[in-house]
């Protein structure tokens, strides 16, 4: 075919005689005279017809609605993602400094350190169940704790009860490694499954970062801090006092550094990262 086209366009006159032979009946032949201009017209006509036919099929058949729906879904997902990133970038410039300052505060056990304890906790109940459970005039023993009582309790219990159970049931996909800057372990778990506190302590910080999604920090006795990252939702707030096994939040796949539904767990002692596997059994 290409040789035929080259032959047609290479002729000075722009005209070529094409003879078609029938293999079964050699005596029957057909002769055609082709000009380069005629070939160009044929190609243009075929192209235009093909384009018009494709457009007609696209708009007449359900293909148009399917394609438009897919575009709408993609556009909505992009808008949601951009909105989340904009909200995260509002404090991204100072997020690292805040985290470093928080880690410094975690390991301080000076007597005048206080926590903003302004909420109560009923273990194992959702927020709506807590509201229904509380009756007017009901007083619980832990509501009588003051900020100094909480700090005194943490200081008296010099060593949390380790080793303990993993904060969530799942499969360990990546271990602790200071060489690559992975200061914890990754536990692959079902999305929205509950993860729990590994020891008694107080929630000293909760935030959302673009890298790690929802993050919660729990201060324990003996200068130990546990950190839980990539959560889809947090069920505790800063200032909450938690016991070992209390639900902290739900496992998710949040943050740009997340590659699947999992919980990233870190253990720090006196500002030094520890291998969490030494604290779990």
How does 252-261 read in b/e, with b if 16+ C-beta sit within 10 Å? bebbeebeeb
Task: Say which CATH superfamily domain 115-278 falls into.
Answer: Glucose Permease (Domain IIA) (2.70.70.10)
Using pLDDT thresholds of 50, 70 and 90, give the confidence band for residue 92. low
Q: What is the pLDDT of residue 137?
A: 41
213-219/272-274 β-pairing: unpaired
Q: Is the pTM of this model over 0.85?
A: no
Q: Where do the domains of the chain lie?
A: 2-60, 115-278
- Name the DSSP class of 233: E
Give 39-84 pLDDT, tens digit per residue.
Answer: 677 778 888 998 888 888 777 777 666 766 777 777 777 777 787 7
Other Cβ atoms closer than 10 A to 236: 20
Question: CA 172, 177, 182, 184 torsion: positive or negative?
Answer: positive
Q: Return all residues near 96 (Cβ < 8 A) that are at least 6 apart.
A: none
Using pLDDT thresholds of 50, 70 and 90, give the confidence band for residue 128. very low
* Region label for 265, one of left (φ > 0), alpha (ψ between -120 and 50) or beta (otherwise): beta
246, 197 in Cβ contact below 8 A?
A: yes
228, 193 in Cβ contact below 8 A?
A: no
Q: What is the pLDDT of residue 106?
A: 53
Give 24-44 pLDDT, tens digit per residue.
Answer: 776 667 776 666 667 677 778
Give 166-201 pLDDT, tens digit per residue.
Answer: 999 999 999 999 999 999 999 999 999 999 999 999
């Amino acid at each position: 075919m290409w040789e035929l086209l080259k032959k047609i366009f290479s002729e000075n006159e722009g005209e070529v005689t094409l003879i078609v032979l029938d293999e079964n009946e050699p005596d029957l032949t057909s002769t055609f005279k082709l000009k380069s201009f005629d070939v160009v017209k044929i190609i243009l006509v075929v192209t235009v017809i093909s384009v018009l036919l494709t457009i007609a099929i696209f708009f007449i058949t359900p293909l148009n609605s399917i394609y438009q729906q897919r575009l709408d879904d993609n556009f909505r997902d992009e808008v949601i993602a951009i909105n989340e990133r904009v909200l995260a970038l509002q404090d991204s410039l100072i997020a690292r400094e805040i985290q470093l300052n928080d880690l410094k505060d975690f390991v301080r056990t000076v007597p005048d350190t206080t926590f903003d304890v302004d909420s109560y906790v009923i273990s194992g109940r959702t927020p709506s169940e807590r509201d229904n459970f509380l009756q007017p005039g009901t007083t619980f023993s832990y509501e009588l704790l003051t900020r100094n009582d909480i700090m005194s309790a943490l200081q008296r219990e010099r060593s949390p009860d380790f080793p303990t159970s993993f904060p969530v049931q799942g499969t360990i996909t990546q271990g602790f490694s200071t060489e690559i800057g992975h200061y914890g372990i990754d536990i692959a778990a079902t999305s929205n499954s509950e993860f729990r506190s590994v020891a008694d302590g107080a929630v000293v910080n909760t935030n959302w970062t673009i890298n790690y999604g929802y993050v919660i920090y729990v201060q324990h006795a003996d200068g130990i801090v546990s950190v839980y990252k990539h959560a889809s939702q947090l069920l505790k707030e800063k200032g909450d006092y938690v016991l070992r096994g209390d639900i902290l939040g739900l496992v998710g796949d949040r943050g740009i550094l997340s590659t699947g539904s999992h919980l990233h767990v870190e253990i720090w002692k006196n500002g030094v990262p520890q291998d969490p596997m030494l604290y779990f059994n």
